[in-house]
Homo-oligomer: A and B are copies of this chain.
């Protein structure tokens, strides 16, 4: 270990300043870089073949099994490991993460033509989501349902936001994710012969009447406004999730989960 570079302990170190600046959306956009805080998310990135450029580590703060595993896998993959002091590690950590691991990573969504769909494809389309945490939660749900791809349309939020990464449990890095405008996405789904179901409270067709065994996409809309009018052409099939209580809307992640797992059920 004699060749290891010295431990960084100053927040003025230029590499540390770079890392901290990545908490700003503008910097992430300019650089195409983001940061991963936490072992679980780092493991998912490695699973997804996204190798960090460098991992800043304070080994005394790495205490659980996942942390040790993540560090071992980074070392095996020849990824640069840079030690930082405990004080600095805690200072630069995102949110309340104190896991002693922060990775610098380049990630961007795929282009539509890079997506590979299976024969019985299942695609989740999310339109106009505003909150990073909601987008992350949707990705976690999409992962569990085994989707082929997620299309982010008219994105208001930024998929590389550390809150998205955290709420996604790192599945941002394992899911094929593409970004597109709604018309581009609609054209893509049509060209691939997918049936497109939209979540529409006004629909008179209950969601379980949809035939999800066919290759299909499920489109859910923004938290407040629901789906925009772009997703209302006659070829699309609007489906209703019944609301049997007093409130008049479901959380967008809950709507997506109900529709995606209906597809899982029908296909089983």
Q: Which residues of A contact B (CB under 8 A)?
A: 44, 47-48, 137, 140-147, 169-171, 174-175, 206, 208, 241-247, 249-251, 253-254, 257-258, 261-262, 264-265, 268
Given contacts A251-B140, A254-B253, A265-B262, contact A245 B208 (CB under 8 A): no
CB distance from A66 to the nearest CB of B (A): 11
List chain B residues, Cβ under 8 A from A250.
Answer: 140-141, 144, 257
List chain B residues, Cβ under 8 A from A47.
Answer: 246
Of B44, B241, B249, which is within 8 A of A261 by CB?
B241
Q: Give Cα A175–Cα B247 distance, bound, in whole angstroms.
A: 11
CB distance from A247 to the nearest CB of B (A): 5
List chain B residues, Cβ under 8 A from A246.
Answer: 44, 47-48, 143, 170-171, 174
CB distance from A243 to the nearest CB of B (A): 5
Q: Is the CB of B171 within 8 A of A247?
A: yes
